[in-house]
């Protein structure tokens, strides 16, 4: 992802608009507070399966991005693989950022600092 996405995550955390960790996210989902789920790309298969079940059950969007360390660092907490965004404004902006990166065909080739890897540079002609 890019720095804008990570910065937005940090702002959302500072504003109290995120919940992190499976139990906390599940409680917020049951209360219909979660607008967007974010799961780390290196999360366990069980966590990813659970997030996909919750996506279907609760009708929320799900982004599979980055890694646990990068997500955790962005929100100032340790070892978080699952994040719930509980504010529609933040959720919308994160989805827009994700979509803009996805349409540029580089969403999966950005490293945690937002730099393109060598394969991406070849694909994009840089």
The CATH number given to whatever domain includes residue 77 is: 3.30.1330.30
pLDDT at 104: 63
**Is the CB of residue 42 less than 8 Å from the CB of residue 30?**
no
Q: What is the span of the domain harbouring residue 73?
A: 3-124
For residues 106-124, average pLDDT: 43
- pLDDT tier, 110 (very low <50, low <70, confident <90, very high otherwise): very low
Q: For the chain, how many structural domains are there in total? A: 1
The string of pLDDT tens digits covering residues 22-78 is: 999 999 999 999 999 999 999 999 999 999 999 999 999 999 998 999 999 999 999
């Amino acid at each position: 992802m890019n720095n804008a996405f990570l910065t937005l995550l940090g702002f959302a955390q500072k504003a109290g608009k995120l919940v992190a960790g499976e139990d906390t996210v599940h409680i917020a989902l049951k209360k219909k507070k979660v607008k967007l789920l974010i799961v780390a790309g290196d999360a366990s298969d069980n966590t990813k399966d659970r997030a996909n079940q919750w996506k279907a059950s609760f009708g929320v969007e799900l982004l599979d991005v980055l890694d646990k360390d990068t997500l955790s660092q962005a929100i100032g907490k340790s070892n978080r693989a699952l994040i719930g965004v509980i504010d529609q404004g933040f959720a919308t902006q994160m989805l827009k950022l994700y979509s803009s990166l996805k349409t540029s065909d580089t969403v999966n080739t950005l490293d945690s600092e937002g730099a393109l890897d060598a394969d991406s540079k070849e694909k994009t002609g840089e």
